[in-house]
Structure 1
């Protein structure tokens, strides 16, 4: 039985096997005994929600496939000569979803985040979506639990500032919802990777009017993603107590992530995202992160989920450097 009210064991648990004493798989490293005794450096929480997606999405199945693929990866980062198994990690399961009520799902997410942070205040939470609507209740929960000024670094092809009057809360509304509920100030959001022919002029004007800092795919290519991430860290670091990082996987090129609802050409590369994830994981102001909008039902050989697992592992490589300075 879960020790949380709003977080429960995932529907399927993959039992890790040990076949080689000299190889540690991610599935062996991340604790799944559901006792959660002691302290942890990081914790994984699945949020299997995609009924709030504007277009059809099977992103609710991403947390399950994400966990299933843990057995395909080791904990050793060759390039950095870092073994993540030295970090203490746990899988806390999935936030409980209501079968039809999106607002109730969002409330469960917010309450689950508050529970987790209050129980493990020093934990680095990693949230595995689900569609992008989950970022709104996650950040609201972090705000309630920590009472800090939180900024966002938002990797996305889309602004996500749609008006909730047209379709209610969805994967297209999290940034607007955060701004309009005053959970986050517009000027504390930096969006990287916006794609042409995926947004509207009216919503651009709304975002700019609220002070959001916006960078398109073209600007990223011209200025370099690493340079813009460094700029965002300096910009937000001066005024925010902490920063939340959200990776909408559709920010990457469709050739890299075929399993997202909104595929598009000329997106960011996997290498650019992995480098950014590592830098943000290492930054002391990074409070938590999520990965959203991966649809395994539209994927080929789990290509897209493998990209999200690599994003997760590179982020934790940076975090390893943070805690081992």
Structure 2
């Protein structure tokens, strides 16, 4: 409805052409949509003032469809325009990837002229600071576009998944890195609270990138680069809800899931769908 308030806008960014790994991640946005109806809208653990279960049913959620061919310069231009439009309509935007290249258009499209004060949080086993234009380069590209490295927090960075060169680049940019090992000692809620304070320090919009390959391969077999020893599905869901609950977060992407490579039970796509619901739950609890 024209002029109506929208809480959450969903945009599909089925990017896959520049991926460093063989992937059909372009099939994933629609696969996530197909799974969402399996789940209820009820929040049982979080109750209102009268102790009644809450629901996300009262939120206005609009699906704006997929951006056609979001890869390459022309595709990214279309994606930027679509995300800017979504940000003008809704309090929160969720971009459904696609590979991790979508983080560039998802973030820049929402930030717009607020890029100088914006912040970024990634949940990812990888730094994504590679050279070139691919799914391994979005964080480097955002820094080169003007994002301050000191307002970037990367959570879940793993050993044996990154070269020393990119660790040094993260240090040189001033990025805050929360290694996978730290998450064995620190609750995700505390890590996200600290990350939000760092990313939001300049008062600008924060984008959160949920690269599902940060998870253990047992729960994310549909991610080409997931490895044994990653974070749990519950930790990823916690992070998604924390992002949705914080008014500094204006956008979030869910990336690196190849729906066609998932386990027979669809566990990776289901986890991605649950992350969408967790963001909505966070919004409902604001």
Name whichever of 289-298 and 68-77 sits farther off: 68-77
Corresponding residue for 1:317?
281
Q: 1:71 aligns with which of 34, 37, 57?
A: 37
| Equivalent pair of 2:114/2:204 in contact (CA under 8 Å) | no
Q: Give the SS at the match of 1:41.
A: strand
User: Which residue of the other structure, out of 46, 65, 78, is the alignment partner of 1:93?
Assistant: 65
The match for 2:99 is: 131
1:274 corresponds to 2:237:
yes
Give the direction of change, closer, same or farther, for the CA distance of 1:76–1:60 in structure 2 (3 Å limit).
same
Deviations 1:33-84 (A, max 9, x none): xx66622111111111111110111111111111111221111122222211
Deviating beyond 3 angstroms after TM superposition, the runs of 4 or more aligned structure 1 residues are 145-148
Aligned residue runs from structure 1 range 76-155, under 5 A: 76-80=42-46, 81-97=53-69, 102-118=72-88, 120=89, 122-144=90-112, 146=114, 149-155=117-123
Task: After TM superposition, give the deviation of residue 108 of structure 1 in Å.
Answer: 1.4
Q: Structure 1 CA distance, aligned partners of 2:91 and 2:187? A: 31
**Is the Cα contact below 8 Å between 1:82 and 1:317 reproduced in 2?**
no
Instruction: Select 2:253's aligned residue among 284, 290, 315.
Output: 290
Q: Within 5 A, what are the aligned runs for 1:177-192?
A: 177-182=141-146, 184-192=147-155
State the superposition RMSD in angstroms: 1.6
Change (3 A) 1:147 1:51: closer
Normalised TM-score (structure 2):
0.92
Matches within 5 A, 1:1-325: 38-80=4-46, 81-97=53-69, 102-118=72-88, 120=89, 122-144=90-112, 146=114, 149-164=117-132, 169-182=133-146, 184-300=147-263, 301-322=265-286
Q: Secondary structure at the match of 1:259?
A: coil
Bigger radius of gyration among the two:
1
Which deviations, in whole Å up to 9, do the C-alpha atoms of 1:82-131 show, x marking residues without a partner? 21111011111011216xx622221211122223334x1x4311110001
Instruction: Name the counterpart of 2:50.
Output: none
**Would you say how many aligned residue pairs link Structure 1 and Structure 2?**
279
Residue ranges of structure 1 left out of the alignment (5+ in a row) = 1-34
- For CA contacts below 8 A with separation 6 or more, give which structure has more relative contact order: 2
